[in-house]
Each structure stands twice: as C-alpha cells, then as structure tokens.
Structure 1
C-alpha cells in the first residue's frame, strides 16, 4: 500500500552549537520535497511547522544547554509524530537539529509498544550522539539523543514517551560514524551499541554493512530511519553545522538508501541538521532530497523484489 506521508517541520536549532538548522524545513520545501515525492506517486500532506520556544543561546546549566526549551520542542514533536502514526500516516520529521529525535523516536517506540511491533532504528550520522551531562564537552543536546532514548539523561527528556528507556541499544544500528568524543567512546562500548563506523564501511563495503544492519527485519518490524545530513561526506554536502570529512560517498549513500527501500519496512523518518546558513545555493538540501527519493524507491532500473 502506498504510504500517506505527513511532513512535519520542526524549525529549531535549540539543541545545536551552531545557529541555522532552524531554517532546514523551509530549505527542503524550497528544494521541492512535496512535489518531488508526489511525482513518484506518493501521497504527501505538509502539516506545516510545529511551534516551540525560541533559542535563548545561553551557556550550559548542569551539563545541558537549554534543557527547558529542548524538552518543550521534543514534547511537541512527540505529540505530532505519534498523532501521524495513530492516524495511519508515515511521519517525516524535517529538522531542525538532531535533539528532536528524542521526541520523534520516543513516539515511534510508543506506537510500537501499542501494536506489539519490533522497532529497528537506523541512525545515519557522523556522530554516535551518545553523550551525557558528565561526558559532553559542550552541553549541546543534539549530541545526546541516542543516550536519552536509552534512558541516560534528565527525566524531562527520558520520560517523554511515558516509558524510560524508550528503547534498548539492541534496537539501534548506527551507520557512517566517524566522530566520537573521548568519554563517549567507552560509554558506547559499555552500552553495546551496534556501530558500523567508516572503518567498517571502508573494509567491508556499504552493501555488506547494510545487509548486517538490516538483518532480522521481518513483517513485524517497524523500521525508523533517522537521517542526519552530516552522515554524508562534507565535500558534497557542506550545509550542516557539524561537518566531518571522510563520510560515505554519494554512491555509497545512494546504495544505503536503496537497500533500506528494498526492505519495504520503513514506516517513519527523520531528516535532521540541514543548515542552509552554511550551504551553497541549497545544494545540500537538493542532494538530501535525491537520497530521500531513493528511500522511497527511486532506482535506475525496475528491479525484481
């Protein structure tokens, strides 16, 4: 059945250390996200933008920057994403910075608990985002959402979905990782996160990586993709606040997306951290749009399923 996609904009950079991701949702609209997807026969409704508090741009307090504002945005995201799922639609959250995945994925986890579905999260990112107040060098919560979802963080964030932790590390597969803070490395290892970093991809190739990351998915799986645009190599996707060299090439990224599409299991999506203030003529938004097309089944040839 053709999914009915609900676009949900979350225009904030409250969890980031660089301003500009708040303009991400509009950059995707300018790039033609809705008409492009509709051109592939998909049903798409743009629900506009969520409202939330302004970014106060203050120093960290107790290891967290803007905790009250981050919590408010994530509560709002949680409600909108959960409403879309409850009404049988596929939410596509347009960020905004990656702290918003706390609200999005906690809503997906809540939905899966209600339906008895198995949740698999593919975290496409240059960073593991597994910091805590004790580990973070910055206090920026866009470096913490995976840890929060796994129950490590303040109650204002870990309790958003009504259950803490929202999910176990075993539900997550991280792909494209190449920047992890010093203290975060040990915590990632101790927590048992399954991480396919760039060395793994270099040695094994993207095809093998995706086969491993997608192993075990079946009819009872809800597949959620959290796509941080800094997953991509900065040479062709500069419009992000935390660009890191040495990411997947354009073709590697396309293969990643096409293999996700081949499963037919993607049921929700975040597209995060696009920063038009650092982009060049909206080129990063356009590249990301091409990859989103592939996530929804665009391919060079008509392939056998």
Structure 2
C-alpha cells in the first residue's frame, strides 16, 4: 500500500451503545464493508460477549476497552488517514488518541458532527453507556480507564450539528471552553471555526444521528431538525479543503 494512503478500519462494536438493538450495528458494519476497498480495509476483532462494568458506572466497559486496545494495535504503523467505520461512538476512542499522538494536540482540530456532544460523565450519565462519554474522555476527563495517554485539546474542538444535550453536559462543555455551533451553522461557518483553532490537521467524527431523521432514521436516538445529507457532505468537503485530514470516524 502506498505511503500515507487512506486505510479503513471496520469496527462492528456495539457494547458502547445504550440501545436494546445495539447488536444491529454488526449488521450495519457488514453492509458498509461492501463499499470499502478490500486491500485498504482492516477488520478489527470485537468480542461477542457484552462484557461487564469492571466495577465502574460504565456499562460493558470490559468489552469497550478490549475493542479500543485491539484498534490501537491495528492503527500502529498507519501513516495515512485512518477511517474508523461501523461501530458505536466508543469505537472512536482509539482513533482520536492515535491522531493526537501522531500530530500533537496543539496541531489537531476535531470536528464533532453529532446530534449529541457525548460529554457525559460516568457519575451522572443517565444510561451509563460509553458512547455518551467519548468526547469527555478524549479531552482527559471521566472514567480513568477510558482516558487515553494522548488527549485532544478542547480549545480545538468544533461541535456542529448538536441539538440535544443534558444540562450537566452543557455546563461541562462551557467549563471546557467548548461552545457548540448553532445547528444551522453553514459549511463556511464550520470551516471558519476550524481555521480559527490554529490547527494544521483535522479529525472528523461523524455520528449519523447528525442527519435529520427524515434523511436517515436508522440510528439509536434520532433528533429532529438535523442536517440533510447534502449539508453533511458539503460540510465535510469544506472542512477537508481547509485542513488536511488526519483521520475520521463514521459511527452509529
């Protein structure tokens, strides 16, 4: 494979989701596999068992950590952009950490395209699901087992498409200096927010619930008044035109 080529990491993780239908993420990942180039796709092993909480408030944490560690190993030696595909949002723990390690938190902007900020704390999370804690852990707060060695800088996080958050999440986002953009923010406004971070590389996290349910409703927690598919694609195009892509994840 050419140096710095894009590689896809298929991660059919479901254990981080609070949904009673979470195992359908396995089927979703298999469907996505058909659209990925076989020579550039790595299958990351996911345990079949749910896993336990390991004495923490995080549901199924044991399996979430096993997937994170397996993906961390698979990402080693990946010099080009790594695209994480197919699991719940907790599948992105290793992708974010890998990009922060490679480029440094001072150079990495993170575009978080999600109907939810995923900024819950284990002590206050209504569901205890790891997927709702990912961004909080990625900046270095929350369950210690989930916090990576290489964290991202909250000053370089751009939260877009977010329409639903817990009151505690909003308080902690403000404390971290992360101000969600308006759900109606245009691709140009999102691009300008990324450039204003001063970063030189870009990581894009996409939870498909950022889309309006009328466009795509096959997600755990659809939220009205989301982006159209055209708006999402225009936003991603504007973002990667502004900053070179370091990695990405397409989740849920």
TM-score, length-normalised on structure 2? 0.88
Larger Rg: 1
Aligned length: 248
Q: Distance in 1 between matches of 2:217 and 2:36?
A: 19
CA distance in 2, matches of 1:82, 1:221: 21
2:237 matched residue in structure 1: 258
Partner residue, 1:141: 130
- 1:180 maps to 2:165: yes
- What is aligned with 1:212? 192
Q: Label 1:133 to 1:173 Cα distance change in 2 as closer, same or farther (>3 A).
A: same
Distance 1:171 1:78, change over 3 A: farther
Aligned runs of 1:84-163 on 2, under 5 Å? 84=78, 88-113=79-104, 118-158=107-147, 160=148, 162-163=149-150
Contact 1:98/1:145 (8 A) holds in 2: yes
Shift of 1:224: 0.7
Tell me by how many angstroms 1:117 deviates: 6.7
Q: How far off is 1:2 after superposition?
A: 9.6
Listed as ranges, the gaps of 5+ residues in structure 1 are 36-43, 274-305
Root-mean-square deviation (CA), in Å? 2.5
Which of 68, 73, 81 is residue 67 of structure 2 equivalent to?
Answer: 73
1:206–1:255 CA contact under 8 A, matched in 2? no
Note the C-alpha offset of 1:78: 2.1
Instruction: Judge conservation of contact 2:212–2:227 (CA < 8 Å) in 1.
Output: yes
Structure 1 residues 197 and 79, CA gap change in structure 2 (3 angstroms):
farther
Supply the distance in 1 between the matched residues of 2:144 and 2:77 (Cα, whole angstroms): 23
- With over 3 angstroms needed to count, the CA separation of the structure-2 counterparts of 1:110 and 1:148, relative to structure 1, is same
Given that residues 131 and 184 in structure 1 are in contact (C-alpha distance below 8 angstroms), is that contact kept between their aligned partners in structure 2?
A: yes
* Alignment match, 1:267: 246
Which residue among 46, 56, 75 is the counterpart of 2:50? 56
Task: Name stretches of at least 5 consecutive residues in structure 2 with no aligned partner.
Answer: none
Render the CA deviation track for 1:258-281: whole Å, top value 9, x for unaligned: 2123225112111111xxxxxxxx
Give the CA deviation at 1:59.
7.9
Structure 1 residue corresponding to 2:41, chosen from 5, 30, 46: 46
CA contact (8 A) 2:115 2:162 kept: yes
CA contact (8 A) 1:117 1:222 kept: no
Tell me the residue number matched to 2:27.
Answer: 23
Instruction: Answer 1 or 2: which has greater helix percent.
Output: 1
Check conservation: 2:211, 2:232, Cα contact below 8 A. Answer: yes
1:240 maps onto 2:229 in alignment: no
TM-score when scaled to structure 1? 0.74
Corresponding residue SS for 1:210: helix
**Which shifted more, 53-62 or 209-218?**
53-62
How far apart, in 2, do the equivalents of 1:226 and 1:193 lie? 16
SS in 1 for 2:110: strand
- TM-superposed CA distance for 1:182, in Å, is 2.4
CA distance in 1, matches of 2:9, 2:222: 24
Residues 142 and 232 from structure 1, CA distance in 2 versus in 1: closer, same or farther, beyond 3 angstroms?
A: same
Q: Which piece of structure 1 moves more, 242-251 or 94-103?
A: 242-251
C-alpha distance in 2, partners of 1:82/1:245?
39
How big is the shift at 1:211? Answer: 3.1
In the alignment, is the contact (CA less than 8 A) between 2:18 and 2:129 conserved in 1? yes
